Amino acid sequence: MLDLLTLFEWVVSISCVLIASLIAIDKLVIDGKRDLHPIALSQQSNVAGVRRKNETAVYRNFTVPPGFPLTTGLALSLGYRIRNGNFGDIWEGIMSKSVGRGIEIENTSVSLSRINGLAKCVSGRLLKYMPNDGRVGIAVPLWTLPGLSVSLAALMSSLEGVVPCFLPAVPRTNLKLNVLVIDSWDTLMMMRDSHEWYQWIIVCDEKHRPPNFSIENVVMWSALTSDAVDDDHFSYAPPSDNSDDTKVLAMVTSPWNHTNSFTQGALVSSVAAYVKSFPLGQELTEEDHLALAFDRDTEKSYYFQSWTKLLSVLLYGGSVSLFGPDQEFFNPKITLLQLDAQNPGLEALLQKPLSVLQKLKLSWASTLFSNGIFTKISKFDSKVRKLRCVYIANHARSLQYVDELSEQIPCLRKRSENRLSSSQQNLLRGLLGSRLIPELYSPYLVMGPVASANFYDYRVFPEATDIKFAFYGPITTSIEAKLVETKENPDLSVESRQGMLCIRGFTIGKPVENDRLEKAAKIVQRFDGGGGWMPLLGEFCLWGSDGCLYEYK
Amino acid sequence: MSFIRNLLFGGVKTSEDPTGVVQGSSTPTINEASQPIIEGKFYPRTIYKFNGHDDEKIFIAVKGKVFDCTQGRQFYGPSGPYSNFAGHDASRGLATNSFELDTLRHWDQPIDDLKDLTTQDLQALDGWLEHFEKKYPCVGSLEAEPGVNI
């Protein structure tokens, strides 16, 4: 009897110790291991205390309090003045530490001095033979050496008045371009008589050149760059009136044949906002290696968008790899990866068969991530051993409405394309052993993302929320945003923080065509009398109580 | 305990729904206290209560614009150096750099038209307006109430 009592006391004591240990682990250890406290995750925006009748309050990123300026540029000094900077400042900074660094293009490393030499050579030709405000149409993929070099050459020339135009395809109408850069002879053959629209056509690939073919205004890439030499120097001195900072950086044409222009300010704002998005202790360093993975369906919309991250990483001494469609982008060197949400590689990764042990590790990793704890225990391959952050780019819905600036506002309907749910995002975090940041882009209207999740936000939302909404985190620091009521969607109420997204900031483009400019003025007037708000037509969202943007799926 | 359970048996911690959309309902739950104020029209009578004492919020009118100065409670709140301005049109006081009560109008008096102010006073007032616009959110406009101020 005595033994039984002792045994009972032992069992009770051990149970008490066990329960106390579990509670201590749950409350103390887990709390101490979290990357970000739940309170910080629940307050990711600064919300204005006032709103207009048919609008929500204005939301800003938590790091930009009301009354403080949005991120406008690089904050460089010009004497005693502060200036925002431009492409010249960034490229000068990059080339100042270019020795021994390069960009991997199609799995071949090309030194920065080679790329700079090619770009300077092409830029020299453009400036010599083109009018001061000439336009260069670029219809070659950015992930090829000619595509990258000619784009850089055009961006360098933008400081002298030349306007680079990023095109989704070879134009079928006369866009009044002076120079057109195309990928191959096959493309040239398909252009028929439209080659007469251009002063020059630069053909990048010499394969399939027909014998005895001669058009006067066609120049081969190899001939154009025959005297290019490696050059690790680029110098830029801003004029005393700082006029370069307001020049046009580039124009971007959408697949619906509408063009928006972006100033140098858009580039430096988006670069500065990206650099500032890294938390303390996780900043960009020269150890970083960015991989930009383009896929067949969406690559063209990201030729222009890619510059933000590409230049930022190079500016901090890092290196970059460019991968075209169907190229394997997981690589032991990469630390940062940018890809589209529709990239087939993501779906393949989620469907990847795993061993029992891997499944168990992934389950643990998911549990840890959902509790706010970062872990690398379930990395699927050593190829991603250095990977520290993956950016998943998502297009805004109804891009065509946004682009056309139509007065007809669409009704909210369920979209056809899939968005990754928060639980799928956590599985990817586990498999890649890295942070994962979903981003929202309006690729032809805004340079850089509109909204981007916090580096440390690994929350898993209830299934009902995931079914209805896509999560994008707070608005980026170069933009402020609000949601507005539309009569076409009476079910969305601004009192409940629902409505159509309107943005204001320094990374937004301006329509080039006069009719679209008039339409833009009208539509801007409709949503705010002269406040400079640009509506993203058809982009219906909700502000969460955490200050984050949730898009209706 | 849920962490250990999830770790042992598989599962994730689901965060609270920040959208407020619960199953079967499309309307988010709203915390009334955290709702932003709707920008609108104020009369001297209606702005008066926002003096930091009768209502927690502090509204001050400058040149016809009403600003929410609740964040500057240490200046404009009860027992602050400029508490007289709270819930009033402070234009004359700011223009003449005077915190006296006689620079303010009662809610049932006509709105001060500031016509007797000197150019220097008006310039000073413009400077204050710029300061308020930078520092505090504008919540609406101050207008004369028919039958009371007109």
CB atoms near residue A544 (< 10 Å): 26
Q: Which residues of chain B make contact with A461, given a CB cutoff of 8 A?
A: 14-15, 17-18
- DSSP track, A114-176: HHHHHHHHHHHHHHHHS-TT-EEEE-S-TTSHHHHHHHHHHHHHGGGT-EEEE-SSS-SS---
Residue A212: DSSP 8-state: T
Q: Is the model's pLDDT at A530 over the cut of 70?
A: no
CB atoms near residue A296 (< 10 Å): 12
Q: pLDDT-based confidence at A111, cuts 50/70/90?
A: very high
β-pair partners for A108: A105
Instruction: Judge whether A191 lies within some domain.
Output: yes
SS3 A484: strand
The confidence score (pLDDT) of residue A187 equals 87
* Over residues A269-275, mean pLDDT: 96
- Beta-carbon contacts below 8 Å between A and B: 114
Q: Is the model's pLDDT at A151 over the cut of 60?
A: yes
The mean pLDDT of chain B is 85
The confidence score (pLDDT) of residue A438 equals 96
Query: What ipTM does the predicted assembly reach?
Result: 0.76
d(CA B39, CA B48): 16
CB contact under 8 A, B11 and A367: yes
User: Domain tally for chain A?
Assistant: 1
Rg (CA), chain B: 23
CATH at A166: 3.40.50.980
- Using CB atoms, which residue from A25, A47, A462 is nearest to B36? A47
B17 touches chain A (CB under 8 A): yes
- Using CB atoms, which residue from B11, B27, B137 is nearest to A496? B27
Q: Is the model's pLDDT at A328 over the cut of 60?
A: yes
* Over residues A315-319, mean pLDDT: 94
Q: Is the model's pLDDT at B108 over the cut of 80?
A: yes
* Over residues A318-327, mean pLDDT: 90
The confidence score (pLDDT) of residue B131 equals 92
d(CA A52, CA A541): 17
- DSSP track, A257-279: S-EEEEEHHHHHHHHHHHHHTSP
Q: pLDDT-based confidence at A60, cuts 50/70/90?
A: very high
The confidence score (pLDDT) of residue A315 equals 95
pLDDT in tens, B23-39: 555 555 555 556 777 87
Q: Which of B1, B9, B21 to mutate to test the interface with A (most CBs of A within 10 A)?
A: B21
Instruction: Judge whether A145 lies within some domain.
Output: yes
pLDDT in tens, A181-213: 998 888 888 888 888 899 989 998 877 777 777
* Over residues A388-409, mean pLDDT: 87
- Using CB atoms, which residue from A23, A53, A465 is nearest to B38? A53
Q: Which sign does the torsion angle of CA A224, A229, A233, A237 carry?
A: negative
Q: Where are the alpha helices (DSSP H) in A57-111?
A: 87-96
pLDDT in tens, A91-103: 999 999 888 889 9
pLDDT exceeding 70 applies to what percent of chain A? 98
CB contact under 8 A, A67 and B13: no
**Domain range holding A115?**
87-101+110-237
- Using CB atoms, which residue from B6, B17, B137 is nearest to A66? B137
CB A116 within 8 A of CB A333: no
Q: pLDDT-based confidence at B127, cuts 50/70/90?
A: very high
pLDDT in tens, A472-481: 999 999 999 9
Q: pLDDT-based confidence at A553, cuts 50/70/90?
A: confident
How many angstroms separate the CA of residue B71 from the nearest CA in chain A?
A: 10
Instruction: Judge whether A292 lies within some domain.
Output: no
Q: Rounded to two decimals, what is the model's pTM? A: 0.87
A548 touches chain B (CB under 8 A): yes
**Using CA atoms in the order A238, A243, A249, A253, what is the torsion angle rounded to 10 degrees?**
-170
The confidence score (pLDDT) of residue B31 equals 58
d(CA A387, CA A380): 12
Q: Does domain B37-142 have CATH number 3.30.200.20?
A: no
The confidence score (pLDDT) of residue A532 equals 81
Q: Own/partner pairs for B144-150, CB < 8 Å, 24+ apart? A: B144/B43, B144/B44, B144/B110, B144/B111, B145/B43, B145/B44, B145/B45, B145/B46, B148/B43, B148/B44, B148/B45, B148/B107, B148/B108, B149/B43, B149/B44, B149/B108, B149/B109, B149/B110, B149/B111, B150/B110
How many angstroms separate the CA of residue A346 from the nearest CA in chain B?
A: 21
pLDDT in tens, A253-269: 998 989 999 999 999 99
Q: Which residues of chain B make contact with A550, given a CB cutoff of 8 A?
A: 18-19
* Over residues A58-81, mean pLDDT: 87
Tell which wins on pLDDT, B130 or A418: B130
- Using CB atoms, which residue from A363, A423, A545 is nearest to B20? A545
pLDDT exceeding 90 applies to what percent of chain B? 27
CB contact under 8 A, B28 and A461: no
Within 44-73 of B, beta carbons closer than 8 Å to A belong to: 68, 70
Q: pLDDT-based confidence at A271, cuts 50/70/90?
A: very high
CB contact under 8 A, B70 and A49: yes
Q: Is the model's pLDDT at A306 over the cut of 60?
A: yes
Tell which wins on pLDDT, B110 or A530: B110
- Exposure string of A268-294, with b = 16+ CB inside 10 Å and e = fewer, is bbbbbbbbbbbeeeeebeeebbbbbbb
CB contact under 8 A, A367 and B27: no
pLDDT in tens, B54-77: 888 899 999 999 998 988 889 999
Q: Is the model's pLDDT at A280 over the cut of 80?
A: yes
Instruction: Judge whether A390 lies within some domain.
Output: no
Instruction: Judge whether A430 lies within some domain.
Output: no
Closest among A277, A309, A276 to A292, alpha carbons compared: A309
A57 touches chain B (CB under 8 A): yes
Q: Is the model's pLDDT at A163 over the cut of 80?
A: yes
Helix (H) or strand (E) holding A520: helix A514-527
- Single-letter code of the amino acid located at A539: E
Q: Is the model's pLDDT at A539 over the cut of 80?
A: yes
pLDDT in tens, A17-28: 888 887 777 777
Instruction: Judge whether A147 lies within some domain.
Output: yes
The confidence score (pLDDT) of residue A26 equals 72
- Using CB atoms, which residue from B14, B26, B137 is nearest to A491? B26
The confidence score (pLDDT) of residue B53 equals 86
Q: pLDDT-based confidence at A2, cuts 50/70/90?
A: low
How many angstroms separate the CA of residue B11 from the nearest CA in chain A?
A: 6
Tell which wins on pLDDT, A526 or A145: A145
Q: Is the model's pLDDT at A546 over the cut of 60?
A: yes
A364 touches chain B (CB under 8 A): yes
The confidence score (pLDDT) of residue A407 equals 79
How many angstroms separate the CA of residue A490 from the nearest CA in chain B?
A: 12
A52 touches chain B (CB under 8 A): yes
* Over residues A368-390, mean pLDDT: 91
Q: Where are the domains of chain B?
A: 37-142
